[in-house]
């Protein structure tokens, strides 16, 4: 395993215990079908930048305005990252320092609200993210968070969002989701926000790569502020970004990220973000995103042909939420059994789920990672059949052999499309 590229003496890690864990993780990634909708495979170049000497550098502040000397080289990397991400999303200002999506969201709250302020976010059980107001998080504890959700058809209930906005007069409305497979109407959200004088904050963590490719609506012309992670459909290193077209808000956000929420930025990670943004600017990335969407639609369609329900009836992005209520498996069992069969995904609540979040009645599947490995429509249709075979036979006689057979098929598929070779 010498792909790291940062030192070439073949001794990347003398620490055998840790190195063995890393090597095993590489093998796991190579040999399993990865359907976790929030995961992807960053390029070797991105991983090389992540493992570089910039990890040694403190650079509190922003390019040309640092609290430490010796920042000229990391300034170059951060400026490249900012310039590239602004070009990607067609926006004027970007902060590329958030260590994660959660840190990015916390920074936006810190910039735009005070403790006790009210905001609207999509409920966790309805497809929203933890940081969109769920009670165990700062977003739900330090602010008065009001949840909106989806209707019986599994679609965002915009009339209800309008009603809640009028009733609660929020300071901010947060649009975006972790498990919602349909296009979000950002224009409508902005109209609702304007009608009550609220900020519109959009979190596109899941959809960012598709937004870049023009395959999912861009919130940039509607939102006051946009956040994202960099490692999902955008296929970069783990991390967060915050974007805006408003100069005043951009300044508030910079102060909120540092010194408000974070200390020193992780400059190796910012260098890796710059590399990933460069990759996403290339025409090949649009081709990749097109495949992600085609593959996702094909997988959902095939699952439906097999008799399973997809929440909201279809997908318009890289992910689908599969409703398992017709089968005798919970989301928890399904994700465990599929892992045994060589397919990783996660349990996921379905709208109005009767089971607790630790069990759930659904799973969430996504196409971003295996599309990076060049799986096409026929491979994704095969994966849908494999999922159905495992879940519909769970607990029946001969099940263990059948699951083993699927494991073999998964391995064969993976070996046909090598990763990091
Ligand atoms: N936990 C991520 C996801 O799986 O959607 C979001 O941060």
The full DSSP string for 140-161 is HHTSEEEEE-B-TTSSB-HHHH
Q: Which of 238, 286, 314, 405 is catalytic?
A: 238
The residues, any chain, with a CB within 8 Å of residue 249's CB and separated by 6 or more, are 93, 111, 112, 224, 225
**Residue among 276, 271, 266, 268 at smallest CA distance from 212:** 276
- Residue 93 pLDDT exceeds 50: yes
Q: Is 125 or 233 the better-scoring residue by pLDDT?
A: 233
User: Which three-class secondary structure state does DSSP give residue 33?
Assistant: strand
10 confidence band (pLDDT: 50, 70, 90): low
If one counts every other C-beta atom within 10 angstroms of the C-beta of residue 418, the result is 10
- Residue 6 pLDDT exceeds 50: no
Distance (Å, whole) CA 315 – CA 320 = 6
C-alpha 229 to ligand 1 mean position (Å): 9
Condensed to tens digits (0 to 9), the pLDDT of residues 124-163 reads: 989 999 999 999 999 999 999 999 999 989 999 999 999 9
Average pLDDT over residues 10-21: 77
Return the residue whose CA atom lies nearest to atom 5 of ligand 1: 178
Q: How far is CA 421 from CA 10, 241, 413, in A?
A: 16, 30, 15
**Catalytic annotation present for 58:** yes
Please report the pLDDT score of residue 211 as a whole number.
98
Look up the pTM and report it: 0.96
Condensed to tens digits (0 to 9), the pLDDT of residues 310-319 reads: 999 999 999 9
108 sits in the region (left: phi over 0; alpha: psi -120 to 50; else beta) called alpha
C-alpha 14 to ligand 1 mean position (Å): 33
**Residue among 21, 67, 87 at smallest CA distance from 241:** 87
- Residue 12 pLDDT exceeds 90: no
**Catalytic annotation present for 203:** yes
Q: Calculate the dihedral angle through the C-alpha atoms of 335, 339, 345, 350, rounding to the nearest 10 degrees.
A: -10
The pick from 128, 129, 231 for probing ligand 1's pocket by mutation, whose C-beta has the most ligand atoms within 8 angstroms, reads 129
Condensed to tens digits (0 to 9), the pLDDT of residues 216-232 reads: 999 999 999 999 999 99
The residues, any chain, with a CB within 8 Å of residue 282's CB and separated by 6 or more, are none
**Residue among 1, 24, 44, 29 at smallest CA distance from 410:** 29
Please report the pLDDT score of residue 5 as a whole number.
43
C-alpha 368 to ligand 1 mean position (Å): 13
Helix (H) or strand (E) segment spanning residue 254: helix 247-255
Please report the pLDDT score of residue 99 as a whole number.
98
Bond preceding residue 259 cis, omega within 30 of 0: yes
What is the side-by-side strand order in the sheet with 319-323?
A: 309-310, 319-323, 362-366, 346-348
- Residue 67 pLDDT exceeds 80: yes
């Amino acid at each position: 395993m010498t792909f790291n590229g940062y030192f070439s003496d073949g001794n990347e890690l003398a620490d055998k215990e840790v190195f063995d864990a890393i090597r095993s993780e590489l093998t796991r990634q190579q040999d399993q079908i990865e359907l976790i909708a929030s995961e992807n495979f960053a390029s070797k170049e991105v991983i090389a930048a992540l493992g570089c000497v910039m990890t040694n550098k403190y650079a509190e502040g922003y390019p040309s305005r640092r609290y430490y000397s010796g920042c000229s080289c990391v300034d170059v990397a951060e400026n490249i990252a900012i310039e590239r991400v602004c070009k990607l999303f067609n926006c004027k200002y970007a902060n590329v320092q958030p260590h994660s999506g959660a840190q990015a969201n916390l920074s936006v709250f810190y910039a735009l609200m005070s403790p006790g302020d009210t905001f609207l976010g999509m409920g966790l059980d309805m497809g929203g993210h933890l940081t969109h107001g769920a009670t165990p998080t700062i977003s739900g504890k330090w602010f008065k968070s009001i949840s909106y959700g989806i209707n019986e058809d599994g679609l965002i209930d915009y009339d209800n969002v309008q009603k809640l906005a009028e009733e609660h007069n929020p300071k901010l409305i947060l649009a975006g989701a972790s498990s919602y497979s349909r296009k979000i109407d950002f224009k409508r959200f902005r109209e609702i926000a304007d009608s009550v004088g609220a900020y519109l904050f959009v979190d596109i963590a899941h959809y960012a790569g598709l937004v870049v490719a023009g395959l999912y609506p861009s919130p940039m012309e509607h939102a006051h502020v946009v956040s994202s992670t960099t490692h999902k459909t955008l296929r970069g290193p783990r991390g967060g970004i915050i974007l805006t077209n408003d100069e005043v808000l951009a300044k508030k956000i910079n102060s909120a990220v540092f010194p408000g929420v974070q200390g020193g930025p992780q400059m190796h990670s910012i260098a890796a973000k710059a590399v990933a943004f460069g990759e996403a600017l290339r025409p090949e990335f649009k081709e990749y995103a097109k495949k992600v969407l085609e593959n996702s639609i094909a997988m959902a369609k095939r699952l439906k042909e097999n008799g399973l329900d997809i929440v909201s009836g279809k997908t318009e992005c890289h992910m689908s939420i599969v409703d398992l209520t017709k089968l005798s498996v919970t989301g928890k069992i399904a994700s465990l059994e599929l892992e045994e069969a060589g397919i990783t995904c996660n349990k996921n609540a379905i709208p109005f789920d009767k089971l607790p979040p630790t069990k759930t009645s659904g799973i969430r599947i996504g196409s971003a990672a295996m599309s990076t490995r060049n799986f096409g429509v026929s491979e994704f249709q095969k994966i849908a059949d494999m999922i159905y075979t495992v879940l519909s036979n769970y607990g029946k006689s001969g099940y263990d052999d059948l699951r083993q057979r699927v494991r073999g098929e998964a391995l064969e598929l993976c070996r046909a499309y090598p990763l990091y070779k």
